[in-house]
Amino acid sequence: MRAAIFYGPKQPLKVEEVPTPKPGPGEILVKVAACGVCHTDMHYIDHGVPTFKPPPMILGHEASGTVAELGEGVTKWKLDDRVLLPAVLSCGVCPSCRIGRENICDNMKMFGNHVDGAYAEYVLAPAKDALSVPEDVPLIEGSIIADAISTPYHAVVNRAKVKPGDWVAVFGCGGVGINCVQVAAAVGASVIAVDLMPEKLEFAKMLGAQETINPAEIDKGRVDKAIRKMIGDGVDIAFECIGNPKTIVDAYNTIKKGGTCVVVGYTHLPAEIPVAKTMFFEQSLIGSLGCRPVDYPRIIEMARIGKIKVKELVTGSFGLDGINDAFDLLRNNDPKTLRSVIIP
């Protein structure tokens, strides 16, 4: 099969012919329909974050496809079934899994990190973890449910428990933040989208944002003041989807008494949270990681009935040979790009 091979940081992926893997007991071989191009891969390619499986290996963790071969003992699937592969696989038996928090599984395995991923014609997956994709969810664009939509779903629904009528601020409207906007809007919140790029704010409006704020266009970039002027108080919930210590503090400062700030973006740096407010105003700062397997069928159903848009989110598609161009769009924060997919 053809695959884009990751040889290590600071070098482009190389498209090569490699042996097609054989499914072992309990596994399926999936013919990849599409794999979303995610910021997480940039951490390995550009910033030297090590992958658990040492290179050479295949990245890509946001995949959909069809079942191409069944390993021994697999009865759940048949050939050509349409499947979605969750980005992260959980063990099901560790203490976190046992209390229903599989997204923080002690033994989690991620495609394109611990095991070979889906920037390839085929990928192996445990049969028990694949999810069925109905005919009326497009298989190619549906691939982005595996991470770009599921991670925001977990943040909005499970961690923040956003309710209809809540005011929500979303800092950063890239691949992750834009889906916080659309999921929060889908569950009935009034959403204020915050981004430095006017194009991203336009996308946010298209996907349900009530209001938008560009920090570059307001006095001293004070989003907290702008929000209080706009709605008379702070927001119930703020999501930080950038991964920047400063914007985490900015997001925190937009919440009202009793409000919650959810950190969705990743940074290894510390942030200076005003903990006096945490105590005195009973505010919360919480994190959010990935998504639990139990939620995927709900997300797929929301996509099927159009409550969550997927087609609109995919702004570009590339063959394996164009994969480095797709990463360039992400690297350069291309204003017209929300999510690119690779169609091997």
- Residue 249 in 3-state DSSP? helix
Q: Where are the beta strands (DSSP E) in the chain?
A: 2-6, 14-17, 27-36, 57-58, 63-70, 82-85, 88-89, 109-110, 122-126, 131-132, 167-171, 190-194, 211-213, 235-240, 255-263, 284-287, 314-318, 339-342
Least separation, in Å, of the C-beta of 73 and ligand APR? 35
Q: Closest CB to ligand APR among 137 and 263? A: 263
- Between residues 110 and 176, which has the closer beta carbon with respect to ligand APR? 176
Preceding omega of 23 cis (within 30 degrees of 0): no
CB of 301 to ligand APR, least distance (A): 24
Residue closer to ligand APR by CB (options 194, 341) is 194
CB nearer ligand APR, residue 197 or residue 271 = 197
To ligand APR, the closest distance from the beta carbon of 244 in angstroms equals 6
Place of tokens 């090590």: 50
Min dist. Cβ of residue 121 to ligand APR (A): 25
Cβ proximity to ligand APR, 26 vs 245, nearer residue: 245
Q: Which residue lies nearest ligand APR, judged by its C-beta?
A: 174
Alpha-carbon gap, residue 110 to 62, rounded angstroms: 10
> Among candidates 157, 75, 85, which has minimal Cα distance to 116?
85
* Run of H or E residues at 277: helix 275-280
Q: Closest distance between ligand APR and the C-beta of residue 86, in Å?
A: 15
Task: Between 65 and 243, name the residue whose CB sits nearer to ligand APR.
Answer: 243
The packing angle between helices 198-206 and 177-186, to 10°, is 30
Phi, psi of 87 (to 5 degrees): -60, -35
CB of 333 to ligand APR, least distance (A): 6
Q: What is the helix (H) or strand (E) element at residue 96, kind and residue range? A: helix 95-98
Distance of CA 1 to the CA centre of its chain: 27
- Nearest CB to ligand APR, comparing residues 39 and 307: 39
Which residues are at the interface with ligand APR (CB under 6 A)? Answer: 39-40, 171-177, 194-197, 200, 215, 241-244, 247, 264-266, 333
Provide, rounded to whole angstroms, the least separation between the CB of residue 24 and ligand APR.
31
Q: Which residue, 214 or 278, has its beta carbon nearer to ligand APR?
A: 214
Burial of 231 from C-beta contacts in 10 A (0-12 / 13-18 / 19+)? middle
Q: Which is nearer to ligand APR, 30 or 314 (CB)?
A: 314
The answer to whether the CB of 119 falls within 8 A of the CB of 320 is: yes
Distance of closest approach, residue 105 Cβ to ligand APR, in angstroms: 18
Helix (H, G, I), strand (E, B) or coil at 138: coil
Place of tokens 């992958």: 51
Q: How many helices (H) and strands (E) does the chain have?
A: 11, 18
